[in-house]
Structure 1
Amino acid sequence: MVHFPGFEPLSTEDHHSRYQRSASQSAAVWDAAFSVAPLAGNRVTVTGEGPGWRTETTLHILDHNALIQSLRDCGPLTEIVRGFRAFFIAAILEGGFLAYARTAWRFSGFFVFPFLYMAFGIALGLLLGLAPLAVGLPAVHLLWSLPLGGLIFWRIFLPFTDRLHTRALFANWQMAVKVARENDPLFNGWMRDQVGAVRRAFAEDAEEYLITSHSMGSNLAVQVVGRLLEEDPGFFRGKRVVFATLGGAALQCALLRSARAMRKRVRLIAECPDIEWIDVQSLTDIINFYKANIPAACGHRDVKQPRHIRLRFRHVLTDDHYRRIKRDFLRVHRQYVLGPSRRGNFDFTLFTAGPFRAEEFVDFRSDRLPDLGRFQRPE
């Protein structure tokens, strides 16, 4: 298994720790045992066991923390300017806003939110700074009012935006533009390196090969797997491969006008006879393209579309747990790869290290849950 995490400033070690915590939660919920070994580079062995079954999964974590840090390694003002530039490029030049609104209107709201919020803060600071003129005072009063407005923006508003991860979302959209346009040497080099990482991982023997990706990681996974198929169309031949996109966000980059090569790679993945594409979506999550078919949205209606797993987070979390997170849209979006607090039709640990083939999860429902006791221990 190879995993492309979402856009979070987490190292490979952090993602490993998260998987360990989630596996512990899943074990408690499903009355199973999941043992997550220590990291060896970016590779970890996960052992699952229950009544009548035992699995062993080799997980390769392909994090992109270095790319995130390259975007955020600057001062707040530079980050804000670069973010608004990315917004203008994505929304206007690349036609992103209209494309998102046509495909999943709630995602277009997620797109504009951080920029509208930051614009409100800037406007508020300017209004406070220009207040003396508004009430008829001489312009000399701007000498104290403008610094005061700037200070309120800098010391009060800007720190508050971090609670909503506003500047992190600015960096996210910078990355979306770079991934779509493929015009940044650092990003292009990273993607080329990951093509080699997938090749090495899938050279190992396995009963099932699983590629999972979450959020922004789905855009990277499409680029990497698509490039691999461009170089070697028969690479996956003879393997049982599942390509699972969690959070349905691969269209974040693919719908931008300049992402022509990426849209061709979407087609390569959808057409590959050795790959079963599964898209995990949730109505609760505003950051995914709910009910959208990724190839069709990219203009490829004539190819096999991904099979969907429709997940309701309230069905895999206790009422109290769900109540605590439901207003934090980024926390809700992370739930695809986090542990459950009760049994439901999807569980990331069970999906990646349990006894079922990944395709079987498509047929699970809240009234038809996985039965971990159905397997008989061999004599």
Structure 2
Amino acid sequence: MIHRRVVLHFPGFEPLDSEAHRQRYQRSAAQAARVWESRFAVGPMSGMPENAHFIVDAAGDGWVTSSEIHIHDHNDLIASLRRDSLWRQIAAGFRAGLALVVQGAAFAYFRHAWRFGLFFLFPYLFIALGIAIGVEIAALPLTIDLHPLWLLLSLPLGYAAFRYGWMRLSDRYHVLHLLADWRLAVAIAENGQEVAAWIEREADRAERALATSADEVLVTSHSMGASLALSVIGRLIERNSPVLRDRRITFVTLGGAALQCSLLSSATLLRHRIGLVARHTQVDWFDIQCLTDPIHLYKCQTVALSGHPDAPQPKLVFVRFKNAMSAERYGRNRRDFLRMHRQYVLGPDQKSGFDFTLMTAGPLPALSFSDLHSARPPVF
């Protein structure tokens, strides 16, 4: 059993800072404590901002575990993408979409995971439909052969329908946030200046965190966080960092979307680092996926599709969210794709084979979850 653990967690594309992620973890841990009849005491954030982490002291029948969890959030990158005006965000989002098409990623999404391809198209089709409706309203006098002076009324009405009607509706579906997501995917693939600086800074943080003695070193990532986690750990391997020598690292991707970035033709550095992580003899990598979650490339091998078919491939581990959620909560949320995509890191309603809190703060080695049966709770 694990008595002391160090966790590096790379969250997905959400506008949350480290403290907000800690608070979410605390809420999920409270749910897990009730389900597993154990104690998960989540401490305050410390080491801010250059070494943000918190301690989880957990205990149950016959076991005590302390986990030091470091949050490698990228909220500053998200904030920079959402800082522009509405029209600049839309224009930049469509430029990113064009880059994804030109660099072959969009076609690869449909080839390997058509649901992820639809996820890619959604914000662009939504904006395009809104613009078409606004233009139709603006041109209505010409359409029904009214005097051109009516354009003085229809043009501002068409603009208002799009800007204050359609785009207000878009907030419900997080459309601008999704456009920013694709913009960051392109920036990661191209190793843009801000992204490269973030990777260097977080690699320094990870190196300091991994210098701590522990029974287990665990790196977890959710969604787009997989690309950033692979970049950071790959960067440590490039540095030949001494913290990676003679100690095993369990590397877990949760609904990992590294292929979102690595399938772009410009993502040569990211694909190189994916290969470094996959081939590193001290890294045990497995990928947890769920059919109910369309916002990742289900049943796809990240390493092979990133150009390393001869490297060791991460084990694919499949879970079913309905095994961990109550029937009422599952029924209420199953059609909310963004909500279901977050379930990997949220708390359980009942015992099942996988629980994020138990894996990151419980007594079992994280690698044991690579052999989980989704409906069968672990024994500890």
> TM class by shorter-chain length?
over 0.9
Range 133-142 or range 36-45, more displaced: 133-142
> Does 1:329 pair with 2:337?
yes
CA distance in 1, matches of 2:282, 2:146: 73
> Does 1:84 pair with 2:90?
no
Q: Aligned to 1:45, what secondary structure does the other structure show? A: strand
**Contact 2:234 2:273 survives alignment (8 Å):** yes
Percent identical among aligned pairs is 45
Aligned to 2:164: 155
> Does 1:225 pair with 2:238?
no
CA distance in 2, matches of 1:368, 1:238: 33
Q: Aligned to 2:56, what secondary structure does the other structure show? A: strand
Q: Deviations over 1:60-112 (max 9, x none)?
A: 1111111100000111111111111111111x221111111122111011001
- Gaps of at least 5 residues in structure 1 are 373-379
Range 62-71 or range 307-316, more displaced: 307-316
CA distance in 1, matches of 2:219, 2:199: 15
Aligned to 2:21: 15
> Does 1:270 pair with 2:278?
yes
Aligned to 2:147: 138
Write the mapping of 1:258-337 to structure 2, written as runs, cut at 5 A: 258-337=266-345
> Does 1:242 pair with 2:225?
no
> Does 1:114 pair with 2:123?
yes
**Contact 1:7 1:172 survives alignment (8 Å):** yes
CA distance in 2, matches of 1:234, 1:38: 29
**Contact 1:229 1:235 survives alignment (8 Å):** no
Aligned to 2:217: 209
TM-superposed deviation, 1:313: 0.8
CA distance in 2, matches of 1:137, 1:94: 46
Aligned to 1:72: 82
Which consecutive segments of 4 or more residues in structure 1 shift more than 4 A? Answer: none
TM-superposed deviation, 1:139: 2.3
- Gaps of at least 5 residues in structure 2 are 1-6
Q: Which amino acid aligns with 2:30?
A: S
CA distance in 1, matches of 2:366, 2:320: 18
CA distance in 2, matches of 1:216, 1:294: 13
Q: Aligned to 1:125, what secondary structure does the other structure show? A: helix
| From 201, 204, 208, the counterpart of 1:196 | 204
| From 93, 104, 107, the counterpart of 1:95 | 104
CA distance in 1, matches of 2:362, 2:329: 24
Q: Deviations over 1:126-162 (max 9, x none)?
A: 0111111111123222121111011111111101100
What TM-score, normalized to structure 1? 0.96
Q: Which amino acid aligns with 2:353?
A: N
* Count of residue pairs brought into register by the alignment: 370
TM-superposed deviation, 1:308: 2.1
CA distance in 2, matches of 1:226, 1:151: 48
**Contact 2:354 2:374 survives alignment (8 Å):** no
**Contact 1:248 1:290 survives alignment (8 Å):** no
| From 161, 173, 190, the counterpart of 2:182 | 173
> Does 1:59 pair with 2:69?
yes
TM-superposed deviation, 1:368: 3.1
Q: Which amino acid aligns with 2:10?
A: F
CA distance in 2, matches of 1:289, 1:357: 26
Q: Aligned to 1:281, what secondary structure does the other structure show? A: strand
**Contact 2:211 2:243 survives alignment (8 Å):** no
CA distance in 1, matches of 2:242, 2:60: 36
Root-mean-square deviation (CA, aligned residues, Å) is 1.1
| From 357, 360, 364, the counterpart of 2:365 | 357
What TM-score, normalized to structure 2? 0.95
**Contact 2:320 2:374 survives alignment (8 Å):** no
Range 94-103 or range 264-273, more displaced: 94-103
